[in-house]
Structure 1
């Protein structure tokens, strides 16, 4: 039997019934995953498309109509257990995937891709090289141009595997309940402010946000503002400090347990998003 080459991976797997993409990204990374996922579904319209991602990534992936099932793997050491990890691996192997695709090439995702037991496994050579790489994954796509945006790097990887690409699509379907929730809590045409970032070095000071909103209200006294923060105490404290410094009813604080679907619903009702976090910015642009 002739070995499968990179350029013929699609040709050799076009009859695949189940495909899994392994990518443990967060908000922004997962949004970049949507266009290549749509391309995979277009090439395999009869196959089930699964994605293995982080809990946050799964919240994004579930908004993609092309995905049939999102599997969540907890990345927090304090929360994950050997029993839970083993149960996940057994469940994945029971699916009997025909094809597994790994876009990141990181060590953890490479091991998880191998453990899916997929018949054909292909990965992006973007991570560290190990002598055992080809023992667990036979097909490696050369590293893509790092000057391209992430989604185009992923699509380029698919092209190397024999996919005939169409213009990228970023299709998201918002949950009806999340949209209804946003309609009850966010005035139409509001300004959304996210005062925090996972990297504190990217953040403005609390005083800067207070000053910004005061100046905006001088120009637009009727402008409603909604503000969000994560559930970490440091982030909630910064948000409370902004609210305390303004003491203004035109500022509404959103719940700390806001889901990604609810955040998407919020952003669709807002005229502008302001904040240092790239993940929320990616979501705002996508919508």
Structure 2
């Protein structure tokens, strides 16, 4: 809320389009805000809610009518313009809040946990709806969320914060597939974090002796004898149909401990010696047997911490 001006800046500067807004009053920042609770006026209709920020800016009545009409069309609520918030579903209320925050075409739109009050199915639908509206308006949106799936689905740029500092910033794919810290690896999606000591570098790969007593290879070189933490995503542990030779790197025989079918994927737990790993596969049959051969591509063994 510091960006909107609702909280005081303790240090640093806030700039939009290269211009500092740190000392500007909230109403002078040209920023739209969608609150977590939507904050719709219960005594106003949908049309009146959307028109409110334009009236506060003293727009001409004709301009207000035109802008509100376009906004209603954009969020697909033209037929609900004369209803009150209490007569709308959660998703419709969310779209009214979005229309009200964007009807005056702000430079920036802030969204505070915009989908947290919706059920899962509606939340997923609204993720794509917000992206559609954002692209139609062509404005920058800063959305705060603790839902990792929501962040990955909606964002062009994901910024992971930890204790008030930026832990990592990048595209959704980069942050998920190439986390730079163990915090990011665990916070964005599910992962297996394993610890070990680098034993040697062979060609371009480093061999790491894990605490569980097995050796695994990465796709980069590391400093010998350094202590490392590795991240391995569950879906990157492949069940083998014996098309790879037994002597291939990172091929292990594992024992299936349990598996849970969840529709499109099956989540299971396997043990490679003393190393317990979570796996996620598309075919439940892979985890129905007691023993399986698995392969982990060295490129998918990500170093998230190295202590030399």
Do they superpose with TM above 0.5?
no
TM-score normalised by structure 1 residue count: 0.24
Q: Which has the larger radius of gyration?
A: 2
Q: Higher relative contact order at CA 8 Å, sep ≥6: structure 1 or structure 2?
A: 1
TM-score normalised by structure 2 residue count: 0.23
Structure with more of its chain in helix, by fraction: 1
